[in-house]
Structure 1
Amino acid sequence: MNTQSDKSLHSDAEELRLLITGMRDVYVRGENAMEYARQTGSAVGNSPVATLIAYDLQAGSYIAEVESNPGANLRWCSQLAKIIDPFLSEQSSLLEVGCGEATTLAGVLQHVSNTPRHGLGLDISWSRCSEGQRWLAEKEASARLFVADLFNIPLEDASVDVVYTSHSLEPNGGREEAAIRELMRVARRAVVLIEPIYELASTEAQARMLRHGYVRGLKETAERLGAKISEYRLLENINNPLNPSGLILIEKSNVSTDHEAPRWRCPLTYQPMNDLGDVFVGEQADLAYPVLRGIPLLRVEHGVLASKILSN
């Protein structure tokens, strides 16, 4: 691992040490943990470490909310399924980036006309993925959930037919270009962004989005990256007018008609990687990534030097 990576990991570990106890205490008191992190940390906006802590603390809350209001979840998932449907067949693959507890992914899989052969969901939080596994099982929906960084997805280029988000880019204001570039890299047919759209929001909503460090300029950013945007609008079913959900639909050109299974790649070396069940191993067998209670841990910091793993 190079010096720059070492410095980054050390910095993240120090931030984790500084924030984890305080954010937990604030969350238990019912206060805003992310606001505490913004006031305590030195990073501008919402740092990845603070976001990870907040998501982990919230694990289980999304399922509880859906269980208390199943009708709202049904409307939300049905709406997204209609958008995604035209790009799927029974041979397709589908990835939700920032799947949380799979409350949206499970609903989308249940409502699309053609259930894709390969359903995937990634999240930065193991706890949320764990809750999501339970939810998927209860709903009899099939998807592979894994821990990963949306800015470094451990999948090969153009290896998933449809990649979509559901308010997962939201807290990453200032990192819009890096996020969209990565989603476009992985997608074969389409990228479906379901995110708050600052430019179509009311003045009051814009002020709130600025205060929380939410994304802006998604359409302009995607176009600057060469994306073909076929739809750009607010959704009919918006849960919170102060956080207006919108659609930015990016269709890929020169689409292959093949529907290969998603192909994994090492998040550090970018070399092809194989799923061996209890561990993911790069083809050069230098790095291994563990699977914790059925959930692959596929962020750079999860990698273990294990060149002898295939010989034991």
Structure 2
Amino acid sequence: MDAYYWNKRLNPFWLNSIRQLYNSGGNITEFLREEFDESSNSSEIIEIAYDAQAGNVFSEYTTIPKETELINSNAEELYSHLIPHLFQGCSLMDVGTGELLTLSLICKNIDIPIDVLAFDISWSRLYKGRKIWDQNIPNQNLTLSSFVADMKKIPLRSKSIDITTSMLALEPNGRNLEILLKELFRVTKGKCVLFEPSYKHNSDEGKKRMDRLGYIKDIEETAENLGGRIIDVIPLKKVLNPLNLPACFVIEPSRNDITNEHNADRFTVPGTDFPLTLDEEFLTSTDTGLVFPILKEIPILKEDAAILATSLFE
């Protein structure tokens, strides 16, 4: 199935039909689940769906006044919940950041120096998002490092991030919630402040929609089973979709003895602590012989983007 899947993914005529489906208002993830006989959204399905949508969020934000007001209002509320957990010099990572729109609207109000990291599974969304970030962020105290990655295997050292946040990014990963939270806990040493759908607070119609689309459920229970501690769950008031009621989940990850506060090499082989070193337009791993490309200053740090190049290190 994997070979068939990727052959279709790379077929330009098939990709064009996906874009046409999206432009006509169709749901790409539902179509792909049926096409590949999947009961829930795989990373590949999410990547294709998000790539097809790249640029549309910002386009709606800038051209539809109602959307502009709603997104600005939502960002203000997210900021109010996130800012109490930030401190001078901390690292903030946004997983599944998309086009960086909401993150940039939040960060433009942050007046302390912090280190911002943001990744998405779609290179196209990040590429467009870098321009949005530059437009929205006048604050030179903020440094941004963006990269392509899969949430299942984050290319950062264990316990290297102070605060991890997500904004409906975990949402479509219903069957992988435990895997994703475990990986977020691995890299986070402070808190996870997650803005995600709340099945418990949703309406019956909203719950049916979440079930149909394969959305996540039971964040609190899953986090506790992984050793995390639920500090707070706050339903959000500014809602983009009344059938998708989110909450702010503040979680303290499980702890271990690993700390990585001062590392010369930021990135690692996805899901591990093997460091990556910059070598021209690539990031290389002497431990594994793997090499990862950088396209337009955006590192592509997914397993399926790796090149096995052991001779490079001889």
TM-score, scaled to structure 2: 0.88
CA contact (8 A) 2:158 2:259 kept: no
Q: Tell me whether 177-186 or 103-112 shows the greater mean CA deviation.
A: 103-112
2:299 partner letter: P
**Residues in 2 aligned to 1:155 and 1:258: alpha-carbon distance in whole angstroms:** 10
CA contact (8 A) 1:85 1:114 kept: no
**Residues in 2 aligned to 1:185 and 1:153: alpha-carbon distance in whole angstroms:** 9
Question: In structure 2, which of residues 87, 92, 96 is the aligned counterpart of residue 89 of structure 1?
Answer: 87
Q: How far off its partner does 1:115 sit?
A: 3.8
Q: How do 1:118-129 residues align onto structure 2 when only pairs under 5 Å count? A: 118-129=115-126
Larger RCO, structure (CA 8 Å, separation 6 or more)? 2
CA contact (8 A) 1:92 1:259 kept: no
Q: Which runs of 5+ in 1 are unaligned?
A: 1-6
Q: Tell me whether 237-246 or 151-160 shows the greater mean CA deviation.
A: 237-246
Confirm or deny that 1:60 pairs with 2:55. Answer: yes
Question: In structure 1, which of residues 271, 294, 298 is the aligned counterpart of residue 297 of structure 2?
Answer: 294
> CA, structure 1 residues 299+281, in 2 after alignment: closer, same or farther (shift >3 Å)?
same
Q: Which runs of 5+ in 2 are unaligned?
A: none
Q: 1:134: which partner in 2?
A: 131
> CA, structure 1 residues 230+111, in 2 after alignment: closer, same or farther (shift >3 Å)?
same
Identity within the alignment, %: 31
**Residues in 2 aligned to 1:291 and 1:85: alpha-carbon distance in whole angstroms:** 32
**Residues in 1 aligned to 2:254 and 2:26: alpha-carbon distance in whole angstroms:** 46
Q: How far off its partner does 1:306 sit?
A: 2.8
RMSD: 2.5
> CA, structure 1 residues 257+303, in 2 after alignment: closer, same or farther (shift >3 Å)?
closer
Confirm or deny that 1:303 pairs with 2:306. Answer: yes
CA contact (8 A) 1:98 1:165 kept: yes
TM-score, scaled to structure 1: 0.88
Q: Tell me whether 62-71 or 159-168 shows the greater mean CA deviation.
A: 62-71
CA contact (8 A) 1:285 1:308 kept: no
Confirm or deny that 1:263 pairs with 2:266. Answer: yes
What stretches of structure 1 move > 6 A for 4+ residues in a row?
253-258
Q: How far off its partner does 1:304 sit?
A: 1.4
Q: 1:3: which partner in 2?
A: none
**Residues in 2 aligned to 1:306 and 1:149: alpha-carbon distance in whole angstroms:** 22
Q: 1:74: which partner in 2?
A: 72
Q: 1:104: which partner in 2?
A: 102
> CA, structure 1 residues 273+246, in 2 after alignment: closer, same or farther (shift >3 Å)?
same
SS across alignment from 2:175 = coil
**Residues in 1 aligned to 2:91 and 2:272: alpha-carbon distance in whole angstroms:** 24
**Residues in 1 aligned to 2:72 and 2:245: alpha-carbon distance in whole angstroms:** 18
SS across alignment from 1:185 = helix
